[in-house]
Amino acid sequence: MISFKYTVIISIFVGPYALAQSRVEKLTQALTQADGTQKVELLNKLTYEFISVDNAKAMQYCDQALSLANKLGYQKGAGRAYTYRGVYEYLSGAFSDGRTNLRRGLNLAIKSGDRETQGYSLVQIANSFLNQAQLDSSLYFFNESYTLLKDSANPASLSKLYRNLSALYGIQSKDELQKKYLVRAIRIRTLLIHTQGLQQRLIFRPIAGREQHGHLTGAPSIQPQQQPLQHRAGIGKTDLPDQL
């Protein structure tokens, strides 16, 4: 007989994966009946689902989204597709190409009035600099993102920003600021779990000492519950596109 303790452990680790599978199935099914801008949106969502799971599928959906968005003149959809392409590229170590596409996505998001993608693009540009230990540039883009996201209707995006700001301040040994933004991220994620029934959990992994590449000292490290792709290069993998 399986004890309650092990049932809880299984639910914590299997739950998010099952939810992700369910999302992918629903999106894939909806895609077969979609057309126009709705199809672009679904392709972008599928890109996001696979970007940290299956490289080939992620880029397949991204290419389709970008092609259709350009054909339709749908700037919002093209902006998000370019942004996801940029995320994939910088996480693969192609920082220059990644930032080029992130800026393309940002510019299209500005033109289309898509503030959520604007904020997300800025967070990812900041992370690309953070992964290269260019901390001043990283902080500049984090602050730009905060200006957009502080009044965001999407708390998950703001939580993502706080989580990465905490990592940045941890690298700089600014422990009070690290703790401040870490607590903010936790509070938002906890609220999301309780109010929306999300199964995602934050894993707190104590770090014995401060390491060179973006890890924190004497404080928890927040990481998504999925393992990073082996091809990802850079510092600390501070912002995997976690499923929110």
158-191 pLDDT, tens digit each: 888 899 999 999 999 999 999 999 998 898 888 8
82-122 pLDDT, tens digit each: 999 999 999 889 999 999 999 999 999 999 999 989 999 99
131-156 pLDDT, tens digit each: 999 999 999 999 999 988 887 767 88
Give the three-state DSSP class for 2: coil
Domain 4-223 has CATH 1.10.12.10: no
Task: Give the confidence band of 193 by pLDDT, cuts at 50, 70, 90.
Answer: confident
Token pair for residue 34? Answer: 């979609």
Task: Give the confidence band of 230 by pLDDT, cuts at 50, 70, 90.
Answer: very low
In the 8-state DSSP scheme, what is residue 217? S
Give the three-state DSSP class for 223: strand
- Exposure string of 74-87, with b = 16+ CB inside 10 Å and e = fewer, is bbbbbbbbbbbbbb
Structural domain boundaries of the chain? Answer: 4-223
For residues 22 and 89, which has the higher predicted lDDT (pLDDT)?
89
Q: DSSP string spanning 55-85? A: HHHHHHHHHHHHHHHHHHT-HHHHHHHHHHH
Residue 44 scores a pLDDT above 90? yes
Average pLDDT, the chain: 77
